[in-house]
Amino acid sequence: MNTTLPSGPHSLTAAFIPTGSSFAPSISATTSYLVNPASTTTTLGLTVSPAPLGTTETLTATVTPPAAGSIQFKDGTTTIGNPVTLTNGSAAMTTTLASGTHSLTAVFTPTDLTKFGSSTSNTVSYVVNAPTRNPTMTRLTVFPRHAFQHIPVVLLANVTPRYAAGTIQFMDGPTALDAPTPVVGGFAWSVTPLSAGTHSLTAVFTLTDAAAFDPSTSQPTPVTVNQLFSIGDS
């Protein structure tokens, strides 16, 4: 006889049942028989071309034959989101990937492991490019360079390109002078009294849009502040 057995191990025997009393019934030795689950093939669909950072990618997996189950998308050993249930053998997910090179796969897990086997797709190498940022330059002018204690000095920062939006933090060595100052038309300024002694002043430019421009720091400007003596001092 011909028959179809479900997947899994089977212990098969043949039993003889006589139609009359001339012969005794008998049963054969047991034969072990293993039916493997149907194999599946999973493919991952993705347009393989470099993409800019922030691009929304659509990952699509197809399982053949269209078995019931779920797809886990992975980037190397890292899972991407939660498993996606297959519909008619397909599953899709939209995601945004970090900059760099990615190794993407789709792992199929069947609902019924006795009917279908799991499978992993081909690996798709995908590159996400970091955005190209424009350089900036910050210059610092201090007046006067030789001052007296308690008399403010003028700090003027010039940022190019002038349309780069952000703030200037004036620094005296590692110490911030006042709060950050907005850049207007490429310039930011501060009028600040300095203590007596030698100072190393810089202007640090921080971007409003860090994806469009690079930050920059001016060259240090040395300033000497002399102690101011009163008439009665000797």
What is the DSSP track for the chain? ----PPSEEEEE--EE--SSSSS--EEPPPEEEEEPPBP-EEEEE---S-EETTPEEEEEEEEES--SEEEEEEETTEE-SS-EE-BTTEEEEEEEPPSEEEEEEEEEEES-TTTB--EE---EEEEEEPPP-B--EEEEEEE-SEEETTS-EEEEEEEESTT--EEEEEEETTEE-SS-EE-BTTEEEEEE---SEEEEEEEEEEESSTTTB--EEPPPEEEEEEPPPPTT--
Residue 50 has what pLDDT?
A: 62
At residue 233 the predicted structure's pLDDT band, cuts being 50, 70 and 90, is low
Nearest to 169 by CA among 225, 222, 215, 224: 215
Contact 140, 199 (CB under 8 A): no
Of all residues in the chain, the percent with pLDDT exceeding 90 is 50
pLDDT in tens, 172-199: 999 999 999 999 999 999 999 999 999 9
Residue 171 has what pLDDT?
A: 97
Enumerate the β-bridge partners of residue 169: 204
What residue spans in the chain does CATH classification 2.60.40.10 cover? 41-129, 137-226
Once rounded to an integer, what is the mean pLDDT over residues 20-28?
Answer: 84
Which of 20-24, 81-85, 229-233 is most confident?
A: 81-85
Residue 83 has what pLDDT?
A: 95
Which of 39-48, 112-121, 152-161 is most confident?
A: 152-161
pLDDT in tens, 39-92: 888 787 765 556 776 778 889 999 999 889 999 999 999 999 999 999 999 999
Residue 203 has what pLDDT?
A: 97
Decide if pLDDT at 154 tops 60.
yes
Does domain 137-226 fall under CATH 2.60.40.10? My reply is: yes
Decide if pLDDT at 127 tops 60.
yes
CATH number of 41-129: 2.60.40.10
